[in-house]
Amino acid sequence: MAAQTLLVELGVEELPPGAINALSDSFADGIRRGLNEAGVAFEGTTAYSTPRRLAVRVEGLSDKQPDREVEKRGPALAAAFKDGQPTKAAEGFARSCGVSVDQLIHLETDKGTWLGFREQQQGEATTSLLPAILEKAVTSLPVPKNMRWGASRIEFSRPAHWFVVLYGDKVVPASVLGLNSGRTTFGHRFHAPQAIELAHADDYLKSLADAWVIADREERRSRILEQVLAEAELLDATAVIDEDLLDEVNGLVEWPVALTGNFDERFLEVPAECLVSSMKANQKYFHLLDDEGLLKPAFITISNIDSSEPEKVIAGNEKVIRPRLADAAFFYETDRKHKLADRFSGLANVVFQQKLGTLADKAARSANVAAHIARKIGGDEDKARRATQLAKCDLVTEMVLEFPELQGIMGRYYAEHDGEDAEVAKALEEQYLPRFAADEIPATRTGQALAIADRLDTLTGIFGIGQRPSGTKDPFALRRAAIGTLNIMIKGELDLDLRQLLELAVAQHKELPKAEGLVQEVLDYMLERFRAWSHDEGISAEVYLAVRARPVTTPLDFARRLRAVHLFASREEAAALAAANKRVSNILSKQEHDGSISVDASLLSEDAEKALYEAVTHCRDQVDPLFQNARYSDALDVLASLRAPVDAFFDQVMVMADDSAVRNNRLALLASLQALFLEVADIAELQQ
């Protein structure tokens, strides 16, 4: 029998849309892994999924495992025979192999000669291996939450109703979740609910398409996108495509049909973000913008049926969204009856962390740090303090309690309504930036000061009570807080010493059980985030280690050094100079050198050491002003010229001269050479 297509489909009740992609990929991975472990050849796999099914197609699946030669090793030859007769060890090994002793062979190894046995083992039929492979693939699925159904003890994400396993045109007997395999699948729940008998595994996609089901999730996703854009074009509008929403909607339908509805223009008086959150979170609608980027009183919904009366479906969606938007309008009007600043007292009732107090306590701690940062970066201290006081006030508003994703955004709207300073109001939204690695940073100095101070308070506080992140456990998102802080300082070109800021942040806490060594611990944790930052920038781990070896505590300076050493590492001279610095480091560490870099020129006798001394002296004069202005790349370009005199020195000069004065002078020369590079990084680490 030649290689055939294998089709596996598990039919279920509607799966959680957010879990479908992970379940589908895992199902395909499990089957692929099982086949690989069994040694069964196949050309490729494709995962399919809809809300009601997980399916995998395996193309060109061999009908059996390949035959293989099995070799077994028995006792050593010396232990297998005594006086020319087989011992019990030899006889026992022969019996285990199902042969007589004279049918065994001798195996020569580097450790001696052993009794052995070889046989040709025939591969098993693929159909006999599949039941165990499929059962393991199903039971290994990353189900977010199991449930039971009926009187059965079987558990899965949703009740399972059918199980298809076709190898070519043959059903492969197997069972999972209490279901026996067959060739029966089902189409769309409403358009084609009747059973479908699949004649061949290759008929799967067409048979379902004829039954109003698009099983290929990428094709279904593309259709949704095309339809949404087409509907928007009819209205001369721009559809805002949220990728997460697109994925979620894709997990809700088997036959997508885009429909456009409208809502009352009076709701446009409410901030657009409120309306959009309501439409996305509650109804899974795509919103529309006009030519000026303003929200239009319309939406696009994706229906799972192709109705003969689409106007009724649209009317139903319009009826549902109306009270949702009315709620948003009510929350907005209610919230504006109270000034944002008047809500600060309510923060005393909201616990930030049991051992760290309330949000009011957090604001009080952050205020001094934010004011200090504002002063350092040319901002306004009073604005920074005011923004810190108002920063979390919107968390106790009706709107944010209903839509938590609007925190900061609503703070800005309410602050503007109250007549707060424009920069203070903007900072309330900016405090949450950046939300991810490539996100924008706060544009205002007040926003930058607030964002950094708030994160440093969280980092020092959580570390200070002994809840450092471990593995995948990071409930307070400290990794994101650390990386966000670094990004603000780097992208904002803020010349801030992180150690000093951490010392100030720690000082704001009245009591921390893990206060000893806390500043250094948090500093090390934050600077370690540069490892991931470097990777994202295409900078090697060796370059990171070279810079990390130096006591640099200003993130902006750290990043400048990383980029400079990264460029230097690509130069032809870099490898030789890195090796030389490694050699210098080894020499100095082994000798009782006092660390002096003061060289006595009168003690220089060899031409090579004189040349190196002159080159180092000349370079120092050139690079000192470059170091002072953080022009590290330019400085390393100058230092690259040292390669030739360094190579000549090590080729022609004996460092460990008999005369102690000469020896110490040469060590000082090497130390002065090393010191030049250490102004940027320990480039010896590039040898790792």
- Three-state secondary structure of 266-294: HHHHCCHHHHHHHHHHHHCCEEEECCCCC
Edge to edge, what strands does the sheet with 44-50 contain?
44-50, 53-61, 4-12, 160-167, 170-171
Task: Using a pLDDT cut of 70, give the percent of the chain over it.
Answer: 99
* 3-class SS of residue 356: coil
The average pLDDT across 50-73 equals: 90
At 412-437, the pLDDT tens digits run 999 999 999 999 999 999 999 999 87
pLDDT, position 65: 85
At 21-53, the pLDDT tens digits run 999 999 999 999 999 999 999 999 999 999 999
Q: Which CATH number fits domain 359-536: 3.30.70, 1.10.3470, 1.10.3210, 1.20.144?
A: 1.10.3210
Q: Is 406:399 a contact under the CB 8 Å cutoff?
A: yes
Two tokens, residue 207: 């048979």
At 628-686, the pLDDT tens digits run 999 999 999 999 888 898 889 888 888 787 787 888 888 888 888 888 888 999 988 88
pLDDT, position 524: 95
The yes-or-no verdict on residue 1 having pLDDT over 60 is no
Q: Which residues pair with 4 in a beta bridge?
A: 61
Least confident of 238-242, 369-373, 607-611: 607-611
The average pLDDT across 463-492 equals: 92
Angle at which helix 381-390 crosses helix 422-430, to 10 degrees, equals: 50
Strand 68-76 and strand 112-121: pairing? antiparallel
pLDDT, position 288: 97
Q: Where in the chain is the domain with CATH 1.10.3210?
A: 359-536
Reported confidence tier of residue 599, pLDDT bands at 50, 70, 90:
confident
d(CA 404, CA 52): 31
At a CB cut-off of 8 Å and minimum separation 6, what does 247 contact?
Answer: 17, 21, 221
Helix (H), strand (E), coil (C) string for 433-491:
CCCCCCCCCCCCHHHHHHHHHHHHHHHHHHHHCCCCCECCECCCCHHHHHHHHHHHHHH
d(CA 367, CA 389): 7
Reported confidence tier of residue 594, pLDDT bands at 50, 70, 90:
low
Reported confidence tier of residue 16, pLDDT bands at 50, 70, 90:
very high
Reported confidence tier of residue 116, pLDDT bands at 50, 70, 90:
confident
The average pLDDT across 459-476 equals: 90
At a CB cut-off of 8 Å and minimum separation 6, what does 602 contact?
Answer: none
pLDDT, position 593: 62
Q: Which amino acid is at 665?
A: N
pLDDT, position 592: 66
The yes-or-no verdict on residue 183 having pLDDT over 90 is yes
d(CA 346, CA 583): 63
d(CA 394, CA 87): 86
pTM of the model: 0.79
pLDDT, position 577: 85
Q: Is 117:6 a contact under the CB 8 Å cutoff?
A: no
The yes-or-no verdict on residue 358 having pLDDT over 60 is yes
Reported confidence tier of residue 145, pLDDT bands at 50, 70, 90:
confident
User: CA triplet 525, 526, 529: central angle to 5 degrees?
Assistant: 95
Least confident of 20-34, 540-554, 599-613: 599-613
pLDDT, position 83: 81
Q: Is 10:163 a contact under the CB 8 Å cutoff?
A: yes
Task: Using a pLDDT cut of 90, give the percent of the chain over it.
Answer: 71
At 212-259, the pLDDT tens digits run 999 999 999 999 999 999 999 999 999 999 999 999 999 999 999 999
User: CA triplet 223, 227, 230: central angle to 5 degrees?
Assistant: 140
Q: Is 280:50 a contact under the CB 8 Å cutoff?
A: no
Q: Which residues pair with 120 in a beta bridge?
A: 69
Position with higher pLDDT, 588 vs 33: 33
pLDDT, position 649: 86
At 316-334, the pLDDT tens digits run 999 999 999 999 999 999 9
pLDDT, position 163: 97
Give me the CATH topology for the region 561-687.
Isoleucyl-tRNA Synthetase; Domain 1 (1.10.730)
Q: Where in the chain is the domain with CATH 1.10.730?
A: 561-687
pLDDT, position 268: 95
Two tokens, residue 656: 């460990």
d(CA 51, CA 30): 20
Mean pLDDT (the chain) is: 92
Least confident of 40-54, 179-193, 537-551: 537-551
The average pLDDT across 559-581 equals: 89
Reported confidence tier of residue 369, pLDDT bands at 50, 70, 90:
very high
Closest CA to 298 of 327, 273, 276, 270: 276
pLDDT, position 548: 94
pLDDT, position 236: 95
pLDDT, position 84: 81
Q: Which amino acid is at 14?
A: E
The yes-or-no verdict on residue 70 having pLDDT over 80 is no
Residue 32 backbone phi and psi in degrees, to 5 = -60, -45
Least confident of 107-116, 346-355, 514-523: 107-116
Q: Is 672:569 a contact under the CB 8 Å cutoff?
A: no
The average pLDDT across 49-72 equals: 90
Give, as one character, the DSSP assignment of residue 571: S
